[in-house]
Amino acid sequence: MRAALSPMRGVVLAVVLAGLVALPFFISDYRAFQFTQAIVYAIVLLGLNILTGYNGQISLGHGAFYAIGAYTAAILMDQAGVPYWATLPAAGLVCFVFGFLFGLPALRLQGHYLALATFALAVATPQVLKYKRFEEWTGGVQGIVIIKPDPPEWLAGWITVSQDQWLYFFSLAVALLLFLLAWNLLRGRAGRALVALRDHPIAAEAMGVNGPLTKSLAFGVSALYTGVGGALGAIAVQFVAPDSFTAFLSISFVVGIVVGGIATLSGAIYGALFIQFVPNFADQISKAAPWAIYGLVLLVFIYAMPGGVAWMLHYLGTRLRGRR
């Protein structure tokens, strides 16, 4: 049975959406760019949570799929003249194929062995992008510069927005669509199959769940979300280069889903805000040791909210309703 939104949650969701739509009109273009990046990370963390949180497959290599999506968008825009919005489905499709194919041999691996295999993918991807035979498409170590898209002409008759504001609205619309699709996916038969394979794989297969196919599809869907996020990130930043997609990016994605909340949809949002703003906050506090501050804040989050922000808010909400 699919869970329906209660009237109270519907009101809260409507208020939050209204706030998100109004946000860029009250902040600078630079802040709008930062929140666009947070939206991009939320899409990526949502995809990673589908794989790790709901299906139990640990991945330390989603930075590789993020890079593939970003380069797909950059190459199509720079060399083929494809409109920026049309690069998103292309990046998602390419990453879905890569993720599904990678998931097939990964079926033989579990736990930390799978994590190491995906981490190897994250480490190897920047080196592959620098390979001389691919420089014609990837630009080698110099990367590719992308022209930031202008707001559509039809919007000028209604309201005036800057390029950064438009990219914020565009990214927000894409994120809402992907979150809605994930919400429907995870509350349907496919979502129950993912969770069953995570919790009781033998029993799930005995009930008729095709374990290998479901796990490979989970990898593919997760990579699709990450690829779309990578394409949006490339469009927002206007630049892609191999050194932008180091293994630390993959680690940051894992940190994001842990801080936000494993196996939660809203956790992707909280985790995205963490990995986007906490490093900047740490840098403002201490220019000499920003990562020490970052590590300290991360420890505070882990000790104070071991289940993640989403589960802590759920717990507080349950206690509040219980008192009433």
pLDDT digits (tens, 9 = 90+) for 183-192: 999 998 999 9
User: Residue 231: is its pLDDT beyond 60?
Assistant: yes
pLDDT digits (tens, 9 = 90+) for 196-219: 999 998 899 888 889 889 999 999
User: Residue 257: is its pLDDT beyond 80?
Assistant: yes
Supply the pLDDT for residue 160: 84
pLDDT-based confidence at 298, cuts 50/70/90? very high
Burial class (CB in 10 A: 0-12, 13-18, 19+), 43: buried
Q: What is the mean pLDDT of residues 92-97?
A: 97
Q: What is the mean pLDDT of residues 119-147?
A: 92
Residues 76, 134 contacting (CB under 8 angstroms) = no
User: Residue 18: is its pLDDT beyond 50?
Assistant: yes
Closest CA to 258 of 55, 53, 104: 53
**Residue in this structure with the two tokens 């505070």, named with its chain if needed:** 300
User: Residue 324: is its pLDDT beyond 70?
Assistant: no
Supply the pLDDT for residue 1: 37
Residues 35, 24 contacting (CB under 8 angstroms) = yes
Give residue 277's region: left, alpha or beta (phi > 0; psi -120 to 50).
alpha
Closest CA to 280 of 18, 95, 69, 34: 34
State the sign of the Cα–Cα–Cα–Cα dihedral 274, 280, 281, 287.
positive
pLDDT digits (tens, 9 = 90+) for 49-81: 999 999 999 999 999 999 999 999 999 999 999
**Domain spans of the chain?**
29-246
Supply the pLDDT for residue 34: 96
Supply the pLDDT for residue 317: 79
User: Residue 3: is its pLDDT beyond 90?
Assistant: no
Q: What is the mean pLDDT of residues 172-185?
A: 96
Supply the pLDDT for residue 22: 93
Highest-scoring range by mean pLDDT, 89-93, 111-115, 297-301: 89-93
Residues 227, 72 contacting (CB under 8 angstroms) = yes
Supply the pLDDT for residue 4: 55
Supply the pLDDT for residue 2: 43
CA 248 to chain centroid: 15
pLDDT-based confidence at 6, cuts 50/70/90? low
